[in-house]
Amino acid sequence: MLGAFIGIFSTIVPTNRLPLGISATSTPSPSALSFSPDFAALVAARPHSTEHIALGGQAAAASAPVPSRWRRSGEAPGPARRSGSRGGARAHAAPLPSFRRRGPAGRAPRAPVRPGRVSAASPSPGAVALPGARARGWAAAAAAARAAQRRRRAEGARGPPSPRAALYVHWPYCEKRCSYCNFNKYIPRGVEEAAVRSCLVTEAQTLLRLSGVRRVESVFFGGGTPSLASPSTVAAVLEAVDQAAHLPADSEVTLEANPTSAPSSRLAAFGAAGVNRLSIGLQSLDDTELQLLGRTHSSRDALQTLAEARRLFPGRVSVDLMLGLPAQQVGPWLRQLRTLLGCCDDHISLYQLTLERGTELFTQVQRGTLSAPDPELAAEMYQEGRALLRDAGFRQYEVSNFARNGALSTHNWTYWQCGQYLGVGPGAHGRFAPQGAGDHTREARIQTLEPDNWMKEVMLFGHGTRRRIPLSKLELLEEVLAMGLRTDVGITHQHWQQFEPQLSLWDVFGASQEVKALLAQGILLLDHRGLRCSWEGLAVLDSLLLTLLPRLQDAWQQRAPSLVQGE
């Protein structure tokens, strides 16, 4: 995310047969976002304003030290002390708070609701329910909806920030670094978890206050390996979020887990702490491939963990499977996928390996001790895999993500719909408009990477934001376009108007001869519903965006003079 184009992207494979973002690092983890150099080249000519937060300067003005009442008793924040114990978090440092076991204020929790399920009676993904709509009656609710839409159209992308957001929490520690991984993670000798927990709580409270968010729709614990954290840490963060805003008892709360760090008893404890969805990094069902990737689990471990997870979280377990590994062949990989289909739940993510500079795999390929992945074979795996999943009843609702029975990830959907989200923890990224901002400009925020430095800043200022990048209206529209087209829904006219009420999708793309050629090929659709990729188009999203983004930039430069004043 450091660069000209700010977005959740990974490196584009140099072939038009692969879609944007099918990579081992493309899972929407705001702690490790990257963007395509090709997209950077498209927008690098435009100056981008950036603002660095200097400790003792603007950061202090932005956020005063957090009041002590926001800190959990007995867990005063302090720098993480290194101990002689082996890596990993200490187990169950404190009893679980009562909030997530019984619901807010000790009330019994409501009946579970499967996150992301969309029915005819429920709003479409990203729709906002009107508070008190039933009490006012449908007529009044409809009138309020029309009034809200008029306000949005008048305000455009710089209107008042939404009181709703998603929240990402980054746990930066791992038992070891996988051979392909360049995420912001650390292998410590020991973790003073009480101090880390206190800082996560403090930063979550501070960012919720700065953003003005009053309702958190989903929480995602990513890493690193957050299943190494104590369930009490997860519970403390959720309790803090509910105190600072409102976290409905049926909100989607996802935890990333590795098979070797998630035995049955520990998974159950996370469930008691408030987790109701698991994302398991299986990556492969071949032991040789797992060793190549530097994973600590075997295929047997993976299948055992998956079975336990499905028993404890039925209908709410997602698994990752990687493709395009060195020497990997299409047939054996498809057999892995078929095996997984026989024992998986309702959500699967397919990620292509991307060789990242600085990783062990990258070095091995550079030295010639390991063959480079074949992009053509990877493209064939992806195409065959998505067809196999479609035949098994899975909907490809996003480039890398497949769900059946409506089991979409509502948290990740927030990213793809360009909703607000807060990033908490070392290296976490966020997108929100700070409360009280004069022009309501949305900011991209990046937290300090190194955990010890991040903790010091949180203790001094209440948060560890290292960089704030105000997004121009054009930059925001670029994100709406690139992120929205990753989904099978695409960008509806109504959704686009929330960000740009005066320049429609038809205005931007309707007259373009290049776009008309894409429409004629059937890989892009522009109609009364909006702009979206076809099934075939999702597989070549990289090349489509290389056409569409310049067209958006040209249309923005050619817009009416009246729009210039509103930029």
Which tens digit of pLDDT belongs to each residue from 124-134?
333 323 233 32
The answer on pLDDT for 52 being more than 70 is: no
The answer on pLDDT for 153 being more than 90 is: no
CA distance 474 to 7: 13
Q: For residue 182, what pLDDT band results from cuts at 50, 70 and 90?
A: confident
Beta-carbon contacts of residue 2 (< 8 Å; ≥ 6 apart)? 446, 467
* Contact (CB, 8 A) for 422 and 45: no
Query: What was the pLDDT predicted at 163?
Result: 87
- More confident site: 392 or 564: 392
The order of strands in the sheet holding 530-533 is: 491-492, 530-533, 524-527
Mean pLDDT of the chain: 76
Query: What was the pLDDT predicted at 362?
Result: 87
Region 516-544 average pLDDT: 96
* Contact (CB, 8 A) for 460 and 55: yes
Q: Picking from 56-70, 259-273, 473-487, 514-528, which range would have the lowest pLDDT averaged per residue?
A: 56-70
Query: What was the pLDDT predicted at 59?
Result: 32
- More confident site: 472 or 45: 472
Region 308-332 average pLDDT: 96
The answer on pLDDT for 111 being more than 60 is: no
Count each helix (H run) and each strand (E run) in the chain, helices first.
22, 16
- More confident site: 160 or 195: 195
* Contact (CB, 8 A) for 114 and 316: yes
Region 272-294 average pLDDT: 94
Query: What was the pLDDT predicted at 313?
Result: 97
Region 12-19 average pLDDT: 32
Region 32-36 average pLDDT: 33
CA distance 227 to 233: 10
Strand partners, 255: 221, 278
3-class secondary-structure state, position 375: helix
Q: For residue 177, what pLDDT band results from cuts at 50, 70 and 90?
A: confident
Q: For residue 438, what pLDDT band results from cuts at 50, 70 and 90?
A: low
Q: For residue 498, what pLDDT band results from cuts at 50, 70 and 90?
A: very high
The answer on pLDDT for 336 being more than 80 is: yes
Query: What was the pLDDT predicted at 564?
Result: 47
Q: For residue 175, what pLDDT band results from cuts at 50, 70 and 90?
A: confident
Beta-carbon contacts of residue 496 (< 8 Å; ≥ 6 apart)? 480, 504, 505, 530, 531
Region 85-94 average pLDDT: 27
Query: What was the pLDDT predicted at 123?
Result: 31
- Name the token pair of 516: 């008309």
- Name the token pair of 383: 């195409």
Q: 3-state DSSP: the chain helix, strand, coil percent, rounded to 5? A: 40, 15, 45
* Contact (CB, 8 A) for 218 and 96: no
Q: Which pLDDT tens digit goes with each residue over 295-309?
A: 889 999 999 999 999
CA distance 409 to 106: 28
Region 433-460 average pLDDT: 88
CA distance 298 to 374: 25
Half-sphere exposure at residue 558, Cβ-oriented, CA atoms within 13 angstroms: 9
- More confident site: 95 or 466: 466
CA distance 513 to 491: 20
Q: For residue 22, what pLDDT band results from cuts at 50, 70 and 90?
A: very low
Q: Which pLDDT tens digit goes with each residue over 427-437?
A: 999 999 998 65
Please report the DSSP string for 410-442 in residue order. HHHHHHHTT--EEEESTT-EEEEPPTT-TT---
Region 382-390 average pLDDT: 97
CA distance 311 to 47: 52
Query: What was the pLDDT predicted at 114?
Result: 29
Examine residue 224 and say whether the peptide bond preceding it is cis (omega within 30 degrees of 0). Answer: yes
Query: What was the pLDDT predicted at 439?
Result: 54
Q: For residue 187, what pLDDT band results from cuts at 50, 70 and 90?
A: confident
Query: What was the pLDDT predicted at 560?
Result: 58
